[in-house]
Amino acid sequence: MLLHGWTATADLNWFMCYQELGKHFRVIAIDHRGHGRGIRTNVPFKLSDCADDVAALADQLGITTFIPVGYSMGGTIAQLMWKRHEHRVRGLVLAATSGHFVSSRKERTAFSVMGGIGTLARFTPKPVRDSISDRLYLSRKTMTWEPWAAQQVSSHEWRHILEAGAALGHYDSRGWLPKIDVPTAVVMTLQDRVVSTRRQQAMVNLIPSAHVYEIDADHDAVFARADEFVPLLVQACLTVHHEAENRLTAENN
């Protein structure tokens, strides 16, 4: 179950991974709330709701257990999948992510500002929000993108995107990461300028017996360095899958 990062969509995040993962697994990818074709709701964005959405999707598809594979923000949702729906999770694969995203006062202020703007956006008519986002973000960020990718981003609900940023600023799983008891693999992006290697390593240190895979790349490694990243991701997923199967066999014996 592929869980994408903040401001991305399932396809933007994972399009380079589908084919190779599909050789080994049934692959499901979801757009999170407010992102792409994700759920639209008047309820403020919560990472925990995204985890519940994944469980609900699995119910609709008749899937009992699965391996959440989370990238960046998706990594927090994967962690919450284990915390909130432990019986559904066979294992975890976490990439370019952390158990917390804020340490300094400056960072805390920046994330809080996002939450404040998101709150104001709740009272701004949608045509106005769309016009502002097009002028300030889309026209600059997507000018060199393929049309399909620009279309993916243009479909975001920007109020939710801002609220999601604020939610990441408040996220902190360090208190319960040591309780994770399913096979877990972590793909670390060692030149990451979004989620620092220090924070990624802090998460790894807290998860019991985590398998670690490293790539000397930035936060966009999933597509910018796909030739190196995708094989690592496949290996990480297979490692978790095989360990989960071996545990199940041992329990049944």
Inform me whether the pLDDT recorded for 136 exceeds 50.
no
Q: What is the pLDDT at residue 113?
A: 53
- pTM recorded for the entire structure: 0.87
- CATH code of the domain in which 56 resides: 3.40.50.1820
The answer to the question of residue 57 being in a domain is yes
| Reported confidence tier of residue 147, pLDDT bands at 50, 70, 90 | confident
Q: What tens digit of pLDDT does each residue of 184-198 get? A: 999 999 999 999 999
Give domain status of residue 131, yes or no. Answer: no
Q: How many domains does the chain have?
A: 1
Domain contains 68:
yes
Helices 158-170/105-121 angle, 10° precision: 150
CA distances from 49 to 34, 73, 80, 92 (A): 12, 13, 9, 18
pLDDT of residue 185: 98
Looking at residue 137, its pLDDT comes to: 47
Average pLDDT over residues 89-112: 82
Taking a C-beta distance cutoff of 8 angstroms, is the pair 80, 51 a contact?
Answer: yes
* Mean residue pLDDT across the chain: 88
Does residue 152 contact residue 9 with C-beta atoms inside 8 Å? Answer: yes
Q: What is the predicted pLDDT for the residue at 139?
A: 46
Residue 30 lies in a domain: yes
Encoded tokens for 108: 């805390």
Summarize the confidence of residues 104-123 as an average pLDDT: 54
Residue 243 has pLDDT above 50, yes or no: yes
What tokens does 147 get?
A: 């049309």
Average pLDDT on 61-79 reads 98
The pLDDT > 70 percentage for the chain reads 83
**Residue 211, in any domain of the structure:** yes
Which range of 105-114, 115-124, 219-228 scores highest in mean pLDDT? It is 219-228
Q: Is the pLDDT of residue 126 over 60?
A: no
Instruction: List CB contacts of 93: < 8 A, sequence separation 6 or more.
Output: 67, 68, 69, 70, 78, 184, 185, 186, 187, 233, 236, 237, 240
Residue 113, domain member (yes or no): no
Per-residue pLDDT, 159: 85
The token pair at 195 is 């989620």
Q: Quick check: helix, strand or coil at residue 99?
A: coil
Confidence of residue 104 (pLDDT cuts 50, 70, 90): low
Q: Is the pLDDT of residue 109 over 90?
A: no
The answer on pLDDT for 242 being more than 90 is: yes
- pLDDT of residue 145 exceeding 70, the answer is no
Q: Establish if 22 belongs to a structural domain.
A: yes
Digit-coded pLDDT (tens) for 199-218: 999 999 999 999 999 999 99
Across 121-129, average pLDDT: 49
Residue type, 78: A
Q: What is the CA radius of gyration of the chain?
A: 18
Q: Which domain holds residue 71?
A: 2-101+173-252
What was the pLDDT predicted at 197?
97
Q: Is residue 76 part of a domain?
A: yes
Answer yes or no: are the C-beta atoms of 208 and 180 closer than 8 Å.
Answer: yes
128 pLDDT above the threshold of 50: no
